[in-house]
Amino acid sequence: MEGRQILTTAETNPNVCLRHHNKPNSITANLIKPATPPSPTPPQKLQPSMSNSKDGSAPDSLISMEDGKKYWEGIEADVNGMLGGIPSVTRIDLQGSRTFLARLGIGIKTGRKMVSRALEGGAGIGRVTEGLLTQVAEVVDIIEPITKFTDVLQGKPGVGNIFNVGLEGWKPEDGVKYDLIWTQWCVGHLPDDLLVEYFERCKSSLAPDGVMVIKENLSTNGVDVFDDLDSSVTREDEKFLALFKQAGLQVVRSDIQRGFPMVGNTALMPVKMYALKPAGS
């Protein structure tokens, strides 16, 4: 779906996961979802369903993209909604992303370069587009299936084409190449096979020196984890690396996001940024 943040926290495991939105109302209950079951278990189910389910199902096979879309349609179209009731996280997140791009040579300071055209996959209300991408790109195209989110981006400076489809439904326009493709906190809504296909379409849309960035939560449970709250999967680092390879992409740089705050007594799950280019380029 969209590049939004959810938090999945662990009360007994000091690792929590951030994604873009969280379920409206009952913020403390739904915002903080332990990666491992807390003790004692609270009355409301907070932990995600584990991928090593009793029937042996692969975690991504449990994803319902329709359910995921319905979930996000219930989220408010504002930063508070995008960040699950912790809007202050956006400054730290954007600074980490800005630093990562600078290390790739993209930025506005001396020695770095602006890019001509960028694409954000799963843009939501444009938190990353407006807070980062339009500052380093002349034009930013948007992929986002929830129309009430993209309504706020209509006519905004620097915003180009808006594709109101999910990542799985987006098809590159003929002749359009991107210097930068940014996708954050949303690929968990795609099963592995559709995610690889999305990566392949992005790869075909990169300009000769273009780069693709994936910024996502990482599972630290030793397996991918399915979350039935929003019908998404949090993947391990090893799974991402395998999917990148399957799509013909190579990692040219990766960094862990630093500086996220504690939420109560819990820490956020690791968030990693991957810079990708076509293998062999």
Token reading at 121: 């996959």
Q: What is the pLDDT of residues 174-188, one digit of tens each?
A: 999 999 999 999 999
The alpha helices in 211-265, defined as continuous H runs, are 237-246
What's the whole-number mean pLDDT along residues 122-136?
Answer: 98
What the chain holds in terms of domains, given with CATH numbers, is 27-278 (3.40.50.150)
Mean pLDDT over the full length of the chain:
84
Bridge-based pairing of strands 137-143 and 271-278 is: unpaired
107: which residues sit within 8 A by CB, 6+ positions away?
A: 98, 101, 113, 114, 136
d(CA 29, CA 75): 15
pLDDT digits (tens, 9 = 90+) for 12-65: 343 444 444 333 322 222 233 333 333 332 222 233 444 444 456 899 999 999
In this predicted structure, what is the pLDDT of residue 80? 86
Q: Determine what percent of the chain is predicted with pLDDT higher than 70.
A: 80
Q: Check whether 246 is labelled as a binding-site residue.
A: no
Asked whether residue 117 is marked as a ligand-binding residue, the answer is no
Distance CA 206, CA 121 (A): 14
pLDDT at 55: 57
81 is in an annotated binding site: no
pLDDT of residue 26: 26
Assign 233 to helix, strand or coil.
strand
pLDDT value, residue 2 = 43
Stated pTM of the model? 0.85
